[in-house]
């Protein structure tokens, strides 16, 4: 009996040690560890890079900058090499001392749509820490067989009783608050505490018309299945990927404009594979990488690089040729201070709780 116990405890000790080694082992040095959004998890995007460089890209998906930064804080320095982040939040990572300046001369900045470079948030103290890779609009997504398309040219329709119960609201407070502000003629970049009561009124009116407030999948599903006819905050990221199955799904940039979303890539200061990380960023920003990222299976969006190798059909679906006009009418995400951000989230919470 004793010998059996001894044998078992030895086996357990070996198993425990093996498990500890397995858990504690860092990824192979030639692995690239990337904190990403779901669009970067598409094998069609990653495989060409992995095969060309003989490396493995390990990805960890997250949603929301706060959750992403928390993942970094819970990791060891050097665990991660690159991160996808809202362009407007690059400076938050820089403030925490996380990111490495990017070599502008080795990246295709000249080919980017000028409006999406977002220097105000990606450049800190003269150094660039993030490069925009993909963008699009939080605007009005709709089913053009179910609504009066002319109505979709004005945000006033979103609070019109005509569409009561036929609207879904995308559950992310910054862009929808941006849209509410624009409907009041305010600029998203200039929002202050004083603007919040009026914005809250607009949100309440939208809620009164809404059937649901949903995150990406829920709102996309609601529009695609006909549960609702309009998605506040929708855009090409909802409609383009479904264009083949449901060509009636469309989006407008109303007369008041739209909110421009953009996501950027940043490199970690403590990365142990900075050369490989830079190669990855170069690949994603290359015409081929941009086309694959733009049409990722998770969601489509406009490539930041105007020379992205998209097919004519893909360009048509993304309304590529209309971008100069769209960008001229778009305003960036609100980029509030931490204090204003909290207040914005609170009025959003109030809207969600309103009956």
Site for another protein in 317-346 (CB under 8 A): 338, 341-342, 345-346
Instruction: Report angle CA 40, 109, 176 to the nearest 5 degrees.
Output: 55
Residue 193 sits in the site that holds another protein (CB under 8 A): no
Per-residue 3-state assignment (H helix, E strand, C coil) for 44-68: HHHHHHHHHHCCEEEEEECCCHHHH
Site for another protein in 198-217 (CB under 8 A): 210-215
CB of residue 172 to another protein, shortest distance in Å: 8
CB of residue 66 to another protein, shortest distance in Å: 3
Residue 65 sits in the site that holds another protein (CB under 8 A): yes
- The answer to whether the CB of 268 falls within 8 A of the CB of 215 is no
- Read off the DSSP letter of residue 320: G
Residue 147 sits in the site that holds another protein (CB under 8 A): no
Placement of tokens 């970049």 in the chain:
189
For every residue of 76-140, DSSP letters joined together read: PTTS--EEEEEGGGHHHHHHTT-EEPP-GGGTTGGGB-GGG--HHHHEETTEE--EEEEEEEEEE
Site for another protein in 156-175 (CB under 8 A): 165, 171-174
Which of 172, 299 has the CB closer to another protein?
172
CB of residue 53 to another protein, shortest distance in Å: 33
Residue 234 sits in the site that holds another protein (CB under 8 A): no
CB of residue 339 to another protein, shortest distance in Å: 10
| Crossing angle for the helix pair 338-353 and 173-183, to the nearest 10 degrees | 90
Residue 74 sits in the site that holds another protein (CB under 8 A): no
Element spanning 259, H or E: strand 258-268
- Among the residue ranges 60-68, 118-126, 279-287, 307-315, the one whose residues contact another protein (CB under 8 A): 60-68
Residue 227 sits in the site that holds another protein (CB under 8 A): yes
Which of 29, 74 has the CB closer to another protein?
74
Residues of the shown chain interacting with another protein in the complex, contacts defined by CB under 8 A: 63-67, 69-70, 165, 171-174, 210-215, 218, 221-222, 225-227, 338, 341-342, 345-346, 349-350, 352-353, 355
């Amino acid at each position: 009996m004793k010998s059996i116990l001894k044998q078992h405890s030895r086996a357990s000790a070996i198993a425990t040690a093996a498990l500890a080694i397995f858990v504690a082992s860092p990824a192979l040095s030639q692995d690239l560890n990337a904190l990403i959004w779901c669009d970067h998890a598409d094998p069609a995007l990653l495989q060409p890079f992995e095969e060309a460089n003989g490396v493995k890209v390990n990805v960890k998906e997250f949603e929301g900058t706060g959750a992403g930064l928390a993942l970094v804080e819970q990791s060891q320095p050097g665990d991660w090499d690159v991160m996808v982040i809202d362009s407007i939040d690059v400076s938050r990572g820089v403030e925490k001392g996380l990111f490495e300046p990017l070599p502008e001369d080795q990246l295709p900045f000249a080919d980017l749509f000028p409006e999406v470079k977002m220097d105000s948030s990606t450049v800190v103290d003269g150094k660039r820490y993030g490069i925009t890779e993909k963008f699009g609009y939080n605007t009005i997504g709709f089913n053009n067989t179910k609504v009066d398309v002319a109505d979709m040219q004005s945000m006033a329709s979103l609070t019109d009783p005509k569409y009561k119960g036929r609207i879904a609201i995308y559950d992310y407070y910054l862009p929808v608050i941006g849209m509410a502000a624009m409907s009041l003629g305010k600029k998203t970049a200039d929002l202050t505490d004083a603007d919040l009561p009026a914005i809250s009124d607009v949100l309440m009116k939208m809620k009164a018309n809404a059937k649901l407030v949903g995150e990406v999948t829920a709102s996309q599903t609601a529009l695609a299945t006909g549960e609702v006819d309009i998605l506040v905050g929708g855009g090409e990221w909802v409609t383009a990927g479904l264009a083949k199955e449901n060509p009636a799904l469309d989006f407008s940039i109303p007369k008041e404009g739209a909110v421009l979303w953009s996501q950027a890539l940043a490199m970690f200061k403590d990365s142990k594979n900075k050369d490989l990380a830079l190669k990855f960023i170069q690949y994603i920003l290359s015409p081929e990488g941009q086309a694959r990222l733009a049409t990722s299976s998770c969601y489509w969006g406009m490539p930041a690089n105007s020379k992205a190798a998209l097919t004519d059909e893909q360009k048509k679906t993304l309304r590529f040729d209309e971008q100069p006009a769209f960008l001229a009418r778009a305003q960036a995400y609100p980029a509030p201070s931490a204090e204003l951000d909290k207040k914005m989230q609170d009025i959003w919470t109030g809207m969600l709780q309103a009956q």
